[in-house]
Structure 1
Amino acid sequence: MGDRGYRKAGRRCRGKAHQARPVQKAVSDFKLTTTGIGTISELALLRDIGLTYNACAMTSEIAIDEGSGRSELRMLADLDGYVVLPGIAAGRPTDRVAEELGQVMLLSGGKLVQELTPKATSTPNTYSGLFGLDRFPFHTDLAHWLIPPRYLLLRCIRGYADVPTMILDGRAIASDVGADLMGRALVRPRRPRRGEVRMLRLRQSDGTDDIIRWDIEYLKPASHVGELVFSNFQNRVEEATPTAAVMVDDGDVLIIDNWRMLHARPAIAPNRRDRRLQRVYLRSLA
Structure 2
Amino acid sequence: MNDLLNFRELSTRGWTAVDASAARIGLAQAVEQLAGTLGRPVPLRGRRLVQELRPTPSERAHPRSLSMLFGEGAFPLHIDTAHWPVPCRYVVMACASADGHAARTSLLPIGRLTLTRDEQSMLHTTVFRVRSGRHSFFATVASRERSFIRFDPGCMEPTCSSGPHVMSLLSSNRWASSLEEIDWEPGVIVVVDNWRVLHGRDAAAGIESESRTLLRVLVQ
> TM-score when scaled to structure 1?
0.64
Cα deviation digits, residues 226-248 of structure 1 (max 9, x gap): 527524524x6422121112220
1:152 aligns with 2:88: no
The 8 Å contact of residues 98 and 280 in structure 1, kept in 2 or not, is answered as yes
Cα distance in 2 for residues equivalent to 1:223 and 1:260: 25
1:96-107 matches, cutoff 5 A: 96-107=33-44
Aligned residues of 1:185 and 1:202 also touching (Cα < 8 A): yes
CA separation of 1:138 and 1:110: change in aligned 2, threshold 3 A? closer
Query: Does residue 132 in structure 1 map to residue 65 in structure 2?
Result: no
- Equivalent of 1:238 in 156, 173, 180: 173
Give 2:111's aligned amino acid.
R
**Structure 1 residues 159-195: Cα deviation after superposition (integer angstroms, max 9, x where no partner):** 2455221111233337446443322221111x343x2
Residues 69, 154 of structure 2: 8 Å contact kept = no
Instruction: Describe the SS at the equivalent of 1:147.
Output: coil
Report Cα offsets for 1:103-130 as digits up to 9, x if no partner: 3223342631111012123233222222
Root-mean-square deviation (Å)? 2.7
Larger relative contact order (CA 8 Å, sep ≥ 6): 2
The structure having more radius of gyration, on CA atoms, is 1
Query: CA offsets, 1:191-241, max 9 Å, x none?
Result: 343x2331111103565xx211211221012345x527524524x642212
CA contact (8 A) 1:153 1:256 kept: yes
Q: Tell me if 1:181 matches 2:122.
A: yes
- Aligned match of 1:113: 50
Give the aligned partner of residue 75 of structure 1.
Answer: 8
- Structure 2: 5+ residue stretches without partners: none
Instruction: Choose which of 84, 103, 106 in structure 2 pairs with 1:166.
Output: 106
Contact 2:88 2:219 in 1 (8 A): yes
Give the corresponding residue for 1:201: 140
Unaligned runs of 5+ in 1: 1-57, 63-71
Q: Whole-Å Cα distance in 1 between the matches of residues 100 and 194 of structure 2?
A: 23
Q: Counterpart in 1 of 2:20?
A: 87
Q: Which amino acid aligns with 2:148?
A: I
- Deviations 1:236-271, CA, capped at 9 Å, x for gaps: 64221211122202x310111111111111111544
Q: Is the 8 A contact 1:182 1:229 kept in 2?
A: no
Q: Give the 5 Å matches for 1:42-53.
A: none
Question: Shift of the alpha carbon at 1:89?
Answer: 7.7
Q: In the superposition, relative to structure 1, how do residues 232 and 136 fare at CA in structure 2: closer, same or farther (>3 Å)?
A: closer
Letter in 2 for 1:118: P
Provide the aligned length of Structure 1 versus Structure 2: 209
Taking structure 2 as the reference length, the TM-score comes to 0.81
CA, structure 1 residues 243+86, in 2 after alignment: closer, same or farther (shift >3 Å)? same
Give the share of equivalent positions with the same residue, in percent: 25
Aligned residue type for 1:238: N
Q: Deviations over 1:87-146 (max 9, x none)?
A: 268432232332245432233426311110121232332222222211111111121222
